[in-house]
Structures are given as C-alpha cells and as structure tokens.
Amino acid sequence: MTRQRAGAEHVGVADDVSSRRGERGFAAVEHLGIIIVAAALLVVVIGAATPWGSSIATSICQRIEQISDSSLGCGSGSDQSAHENESDPRDEPPVCRFSSSTESRATDTGAGVRLWRVARVGGSVGDHAAYTVEQMSDGSYQVHLAEGINGELSAGVDLSYRSKNGGTNIGGQAEFARQVGAEVVQTWNLEDQAAFDAFMPSFEEHYAEVEDRGFIGSVWEGTKGAARATGDFLCFWCDDSPDDGWSHLTRAPDSTSYTGNSANEVSGSLGLSAKPGENAPFSLGVGSVEGSYGIDDSITIQTHETGEKAGQTTLSMAFESGGDWEGYLLGLTGGSFSTSTGAVHISYDNATGELTEVRLQTVNESGSVFALDASNLIGGIDIPGSSDGGSGLGHGEDGFGWQDSSYSAGFQARLDGEFDSSTLVTDVTLEVNDGNREVAQEWLGGVTGVLRADMLASALASGDGAELFWPGRASDDPVQQMLFEDATAHGAIYANTSESSTTGPNVDLILADFSRETTSTSSTGELVDAWFLGGEDPNNPGQRSQVTNEDCLSAGG
C-alpha cells in the first residue's frame, strides 16, 4: 500500500505539475500576444515619428517573428513597397525648348574682277546681328544675342553664249569659295515670365545699337573686348576692366561664347536671259537653276558666370554639311535645302580642371523655299554712254565672249519664305563622375574625328545622322555602356517658318563688279514632338524605354 500510495502520490504530484505547466503555457501565449500587439504599436510609433525609425522598426518586427515563429510581414512588405516607390532618375522628363523666335540682320559687301571675261576672282566682307528668344518647358526663358563678322574669297569661271544682236544670253557659272568668320554670343537665363518682361525693354534698346554698328563697328567692339580681356589676363592683380558692352541692360549675361569657323563651298548655275526688244536697255531673266554644297567646321569657347555651370568652361566642336538648290522662272523662285550638324560640348571645372560634362548633339534641318525675285527678273540696266563691242572669245558672230556686253547697274530685291521646313534635334548629356571619368576622357581623344567622318558620310548618303550618339542598347563596348547607364537623352522635332528680304545695289563694269546686300530675317520654331530615353525597358532587356515628353508638349500646347 505504501508503494502504491507512494506511487499514487507521485502520480498525483505529476498530474498537478502537468496541470500547472499547462496553466503557465496558456498565460505565456496570452502574454506574448500582448507583447506582439504592444510591439506592433511601438513599431508604428517609432517608424512614423523618427527619420531612423524605419530600420529600428524593421529590426524589432523581425525579432518578434523569430520569437513567435510567425510571420508579421516585416521587411518584405515594406521593402517591396519602397522598391515599388523607388523611381529611376532617368524616367524624369528633361527640361526642353518648346518654342523659339529669331530676328536677324546681315550685310555683305562684295567685289570681283574678271580675267578675259571668263575667270572671276572676288571677295566679300560682312557682319551680322541676331537675337533669339527660347521658351522652356519649366516656364523659364533663354535670350541669346549674337554679333559677328565674316569674310570670303572666291574663284570661278563664268561662260556665256550670246546671240549676234545680244538679245539672248545663255550663261553658266561655277565657283569655289572659302569663308571664315568670328562670332560672340551672350546668353541670359530668365527664371519666369516676370523676369523676362522686366528684361526685354532694355535688351531691345541694346540690340538696336548692336544692329546699327555695321562691319567697322563690330570689328572695333571686338578689338576693344579682346584688348580688355588681354589686359585683365596679363594684369591679374588689377581689378577687372569695366565692360560697357551692355550699358543699357539691367544685368550682365550669364554666359558668353566665342566662336571661330571656317567653311568651304562649291556652287554652280545655268541660266537664260533675253532682251524684250532689240534696243531695250535691260535684259529679263527667263529661267535658271543653281545649286551649292558646303561644309563648315567651328570651335567655340563658352564661359559660364552664373547658374548650374557657374565656374565652368565649355569647349565645343561642330561640323556641318549640307546643300541647296533653286529653280527660277520669270520672277518666281522655288527650291529646297538640307543640312546636318553634329557637335560635341566638353565642360571643365575652372578650379580643378576636371572634366564635368559631355554633351553630344545632332541637328538636321530640311525644307523648301519660295521667293519673289526681282533681282533675276531684271538683270541690269545699261549705263548710258557705254560702248558695246570689243574683241574676245568667239565662234563666228555667235559665240563665247563679251562682244555684246555693256556696263550695267541693277538693284537686288528678293522676298523669301520657307515652308514645309522642320528640324530634328537629338541631345545626349553625360554627367562625368569618378566612376566614368576615365572612360569618358579616353573616348574624347578620338571622338572629334569620328564626328566629322560620320556626319560627312551621313550627309553624303542623304541620311540625317540623328542616331549618331543615341544610347539605344547596352553592349560590351565601354563607351556605349557608359552612355546607356548614365546619359540623359532626348529628342525633338520643330516646325519652322521664316520670312526674309534682301535688298541692295549691284554694278557690272565688264571687267569688274560690285554689290552690297542687306538681309533681314524673322523666323520661328514650334515644337511638334518630343521624347526621351527613360530607364531600362522591362520588356526589352538591354534597351531603354523611349517615352513621350508630355511635360514639354503640354507646356507648348
């Protein structure tokens, strides 16, 4: 019995212990539930009230998951939400230009001499002034003031076939010209409409003075500016020389660009003229066709005084190629033109000399021209007292030569208008950092040669060259990979309109000629389409999504 009692007592004790353990187990679960609820509240409070609360809250939540062997959605849900809310900076639409307007005036004075009436050697000098207003999609404005001079030397042949009475003339001309020029462009960045409205009255007053300077005045202003800059450079301990170049303006320019360019052009024409009567003192231009093709290289140095690029200098190299043709019939002229331009802009920090940005652009413009041209309609009025005749090249009574030529004077008068004209612009910008600087610098060593060769090949093949630098697909090539990962890329198409008038006298003295012409132009460009490359396209690995730039289109609409 004792053993049994003892055994029974043991069994009873064991049951009691088991019962008490069960009670403690239920209490622990209840307490854990309370702790979880309290901890959840603590997680919410900490996560909402402190900037570092998110990481602490996640750690607490994950620890409770380990203790309770349950899932509370810590980390995974919040991380997923954060990942979903995380945006690729490349998906942000870039600021773009949605409209522009330009007013310009150019004057050219030329003269030439004829050798044996067949070969002609000539030259000209000219000046130009222009200002452009650009409206940007973020509500800001950019105003550009350009002033420049140019010179040209040309050589060619001028052959004509005249009837024996001088009433009909069929002529042809071929010419090669070499042009050089220099230009200064000042830029003002105006943050909004109010700033623009306050700035423009003084700017227009200043532009009127620039427009009236002429060639001599432009050369004089350029000489003064160069002397002032040279003096400031040599006397670095002196105060900068005062610049009265914008005395009428309310503020100095935010950046200034200095450009030098060199161009070659070939041109040719074939025309027919006739006198309305045997004794008529002038000839009427019946019809002609002419064409030209040229290439232009330019180098620009731009200094930035204010804005995001303050303290930086940009070196730009551009190459342009293109041509045009025109057909003329009884005072009416029609034709077309096409140009392709590629440019590389390299920005450096003035203090450190480090490369900060590489910008790659292509601009492709094409369109048609219609003109009322009185210059060709009346070829020139004979000067009284001049004598016909003389010896020269001839084949019998009719032939090549100047047998029936006379001194003449005329007046150029032409009104032009562009239609069906458009411009395609692509712009790729790479911000240079420590991660890509080495690749960018090595690549830039040969990019200018590639630019010139590829743009020329594109122009000769009648292509547009628009995708010359477009970072469309990732590849093993380090340059393409760099552009694909880091560059912002956007493009736009503009519809252009332009009106211009050309007037001036011309005199032909058989063995020499003289002309002076002034051209005034007003043009506008309105945005038609705009797009940019966003982040990587999930449906096309290795490619970036091409996105319509709604911000720019709505700003222009």
What count of Cα atoms within 13 Å lies in the side-chain half-sphere of residue 67? 14
Residue 58 contacts by C-beta under 8 Å, 6 or more apart in sequence?
Answer: 74, 75, 78
With b for 16 or more beta-carbon neighbours within 10 A and e for fewer, the 100-117 pattern comes to bebbbbbbbbbebebeeb
Q: Is 93 helix (H, G, I), strand (E, B) or coil?
A: coil
pLDDT at 197 over 90: yes
Which whole number is the average pLDDT over 362-371?
Answer: 92
pLDDT at 139 over 60: yes
Q: How crowded is residue 514: how many other Cβ atoms within 10 Å of its Cβ?
A: 15
The pTM score is 0.76
Low-confidence winner among 162-166, 210-214, 233-237, 385-389 (lowest mean pLDDT): 385-389
Give residue-wise pLDDT tens across range 462-495.
445 555 677 877 878 888 888 888 899 999 999 9
Give residue-wise pLDDT tens across range 264-302.
999 999 988 887 777 777 778 889 999 999 999 999 999
Please give the pLDDT value at position 153. Answer: 97
Handedness of CA 208, 212, 214, 217 (dihedral sign): negative
Contact 162, 171 (CB under 8 A): no
Please give the pLDDT value at position 340. Answer: 87
pLDDT at 81 over 60: no
Q: Which of these, 151, 133, 150, lies nearest to 142 by C-alpha position?
A: 133
CA distance 16 to 254: 91
Q: Is 439 helix (H, G, I), strand (E, B) or coil?
A: helix
Contact 125, 151 (CB under 8 A): yes
pLDDT at 410 over 60: yes
Who wins on pLDDT, 512 or 53? 512
Terminus-to-terminus CA distance in the chain, angstroms?
A: 106
CA distance 357 to 347: 5
Which whole number is the average pLDDT over 116-139?
Answer: 91
Contact 177, 264 (CB under 8 A): yes
* DSSP 8-state symbol, 438: H
Please give the pLDDT value at position 380. Answer: 63
Tokens 């170049």 sit at which residue? 245
The three state secondary structure string of 367-424 is EEEEEEEHHHHEEEEECCCCCCCCCCCCCCCCEECCCCCCCEEEEEEEEEEEEEEEEE
Average pLDDT along the chain: 76
pLDDT at 367 over 60: yes
What percentage of the chain reaches a pLDDT higher than 70? 67
Helix, strand, coil fractions of the chain, as percent rounded to 5: 30, 45, 25
Q: Kind of pairing, strands 168-190 and 255-274?
A: antiparallel
Residue 467 contacts by C-beta under 8 Å, 6 or more apart in sequence?
Answer: 426
Give residue-wise pLDDT tens across range 300-341.
999 998 888 999 999 998 889 899 999 999 889 999 999 988
Q: Is 26 helix (H, G, I), strand (E, B) or coil?
A: helix
